[in-house]
Amino acid sequence: MLRSWTIGLLTACALAGPALAQATKDTLIVDLPGDVATMDPHVQWDTESYSVYRNIFDNLVTRDTSGKIVPQVATAWRYTDPTTIVFDLRTDITFSDGSKLTPADVVFSIKRITNPAFRSPQLSQFDQIIAADVTGPAQVTLRTKSPYPVLLAQLVKLSIVPQAVVEKLGDQAFNQQVLGSGPYVLKSWQRGVASTLEANPGYWRGAAPFKTVTFRAVPDIATRIADVRTGRADITRGLSPDDTASLKNERNLQVLSVATERVSHLFLNPAIGPTRDKRVRQAIAHAIDRDAIIAALMLGFPKRADVMLTEAAFGWVGDVPFWPYDPARAKALVKEAGAEGAEIPFLTSPAYDRRVNEAVQQMLGEVGLKVSFVMVDQPTFLRRRQGTPEEALNMAQGRWSCACQDADGVIFPLFRTGSQWAKFSNAEFDTAVDAARVTLDEKERLTHYRRAFTILRDEVAAVPLFQDAAIYLARRELKWTPTPNEAFFVFDMKWVP
């Protein structure tokens, strides 16, 4: 303990030297809003942790830049029956300590994350898997409780860890000194400060683009922008559209953006208060000028969304248009419902864009509905939003991501009767999403989802606003195309002089 203090003090005080950033182009410095919570990929999966350990591990399957699920550790897969799937694995992958990645490691990884005693927060994404077995020298077989169409999408997030190392070190120590088969190796991790990765020389997919990559924790966006401007960092994320306005002209910088798989939406509670009346919900839908919000507030970065899903996810349908902006109609509906001047409590937290909330408040005010904000911090927000309809209030903003890129991960938990998020209850909707959940046939599933989205639109269970944009600021020489899943896969970046 004492020793680490002393060392820390030395690092803090003694290392007066030039900024690290401009050293050589062998390095990449990334400013993240926070530090890695856990390096162990089976524990936390918050954006910061994921951004870092994603580069250290390989997954069973992955997505290409277009979002299609493609092989990684697995070369091919097939269903032998609706609940059993067989994966063929590569045999040429080694972990960075030189040991081979075997089917046993894959099975170990699945069993580890699904073991309730391990208390993985990600457990619910994998708990449909009830068995994993090595069924050949390069083959594993998984079985699910029931037909589970989202399995592959979930497996995209499953990192393969080396069984021998984990068992030797124990969970706590492994978290400190993770080791995987990915393009990078963890070199050092100063909690709360930075983590540094080094290229894995023997990576099976080829040489990594940077010798070292440093991820720094810089909570304040203004400071992160200053870091990139001064070259102290090469890339950062989390900019708001307004931040880009004065940066677009800077010669050394580039603003990168991509539409993510998150849909910003307004949840409407049909169980309580004035929003029980469908006409009031419809009025809200008509009152909100989504295009104005996107153009004026968000400077055109996000894409308008008509359903509660993005094109990047399976289940998206383009032929269920949402209610148009029509304030006159909205006013009339409010009047018809006798809800003029009705108070609409709006639950929100600092995690949601304040300006969108305030714009919505004004737009609803113009059609005769009085929005009042109830601000709570994020944990409380989550608790109340999942609590009783009274706790969840009449309205709230949401930015849903299941990271599985499938409609099942979005509208099922949000609207299916019995889910703690859902305050909406519709038997026909329930039938449709239940059916889609256990059907492997994509066409059939799509039909179910079209039905479900139509019901959501007609009942106005929510107002989809837009597909969120992820905005990055990078040095001009960095070449990278950001992906919708907000992953920071360094292997895909490179310097171009």
Residues between 174 and 233 that touch other proteins (CB under 8 A): 175-176, 190-194, 216-224, 226-227, 229-230, 232
List binders of other proteins among 352-371 (CB under 8 A): 354-355, 357-359, 361-362
Asked whether 296 and 382 are in contact (CB, 8 A), the reply is no
List binders of other proteins among 10-39 (CB under 8 A): 11-17, 19-20, 31, 34-35, 37-38
Asked whether 200 and 184 are in contact (CB, 8 A), the reply is yes
Asked whether 433 and 300 are in contact (CB, 8 A), the reply is no
Nearest distance in Å: CB 391, other proteins: 12
Q: Among 335, 413, 438, 440, which residue sits at the site for other proteins (rule: CB under 8 A)?
A: 413
Asked whether 153 and 174 are in contact (CB, 8 A), the reply is no
Contact residues for 177 (Cβ-Cβ < 8 A; gap 6+): 169, 186
Interatomic CA distance for residues 185 and 166, integer angstroms: 16
Q: Taking Cα atoms as reference points, which of 475, 462, 219 lies closest to residue 323?
A: 462
Interatomic CA distance for residues 174 and 39, integer angstroms: 8
Backbone angles phi, psi at 366, to 5 degrees: -70, -20
The residue among 67 and 413 lying less far from other proteins, judged by its C-beta, is: 413
How many residues bind to other proteins according to rule CB under 8 A? 96
170 lies in the binding site for other proteins (CB under 8 A): no
Q: What angle do CA 49, 39, 121 make, to 5 degrees?
A: 70
341 lies in the binding site for other proteins (CB under 8 A): no
Burial class (CB in 10 A: 0-12, 13-18, 19+), 335: middle
245 lies in the binding site for other proteins (CB under 8 A): yes
43 lies in the binding site for other proteins (CB under 8 A): yes
Q: Quick one: which segment of 89-97, 100-108, 277-285, 374-382 binds other proteins (CB under 8 A)?
A: 374-382
Interatomic CA distance for residues 412 and 417, integer angstroms: 9
- Which amino acid is present at 387? G
Nearest distance in Å: CB 168, other proteins: 18
Q: Among 242, 343, 428, 458, which residue sits at the site for other proteins (rule: CB under 8 A)?
A: 242
The residue among 216 and 279 lying less far from other proteins, judged by its C-beta, is: 216
Q: Among 28, 30, 40, 491, which residue sits at the site for other proteins (rule: CB under 8 A)?
A: 40
Q: Among 114, 159, 275, 401, which residue sits at the site for other proteins (rule: CB under 8 A)?
A: 401
The residue among 102 and 122 lying less far from other proteins, judged by its C-beta, is: 122
Nearest distance in Å: CB 350, other proteins: 3
Q: Among 86, 123, 131, 438, which residue sits at the site for other proteins (rule: CB under 8 A)?
A: 123
130 lies in the binding site for other proteins (CB under 8 A): no
164 lies in the binding site for other proteins (CB under 8 A): no
Task: Spell out a b/e string for 1-20, using b for 16 or more CB atoms within 10 Å of the CB, else e.
Answer: eeeeeeeeeeeeeeeeeeeb
Q: Quick one: which segment of 137-145, 159-167, 276-284, 399-407 binds other proteins (CB under 8 A)?
A: 399-407
DSSP codes of every residue in 413-445: HHHSTTSTT-----HHHHHHHHHHHT---HHHH
116 lies in the binding site for other proteins (CB under 8 A): yes
Record the tokens describing residue 61, joined without a space: 């399957």
List binders of other proteins among 276-305 (CB under 8 A): 292-293, 296-297
Nearest distance in Å: CB 435, other proteins: 18
The residue among 190 and 447 lying less far from other proteins, judged by its C-beta, is: 190
The residue among 8 and 201 lying less far from other proteins, judged by its C-beta, is: 8
- Cα dihedral across residues 178, 180, 182, 183: positive or negative: positive
List binders of other proteins among 44-63 (CB under 8 A): 44-45
How many angstroms separate the Cα of 352 from the Cα of each of 115, 283, 483?
34, 23, 22
Nearest distance in Å: CB 129, other proteins: 14
Nearest distance in Å: CB 420, other proteins: 5
Residues in the chain: 497
Q: Quick one: which segment of 130-138, 195-203, 324-332, 411-419 binds other proteins (CB under 8 A)?
A: 411-419
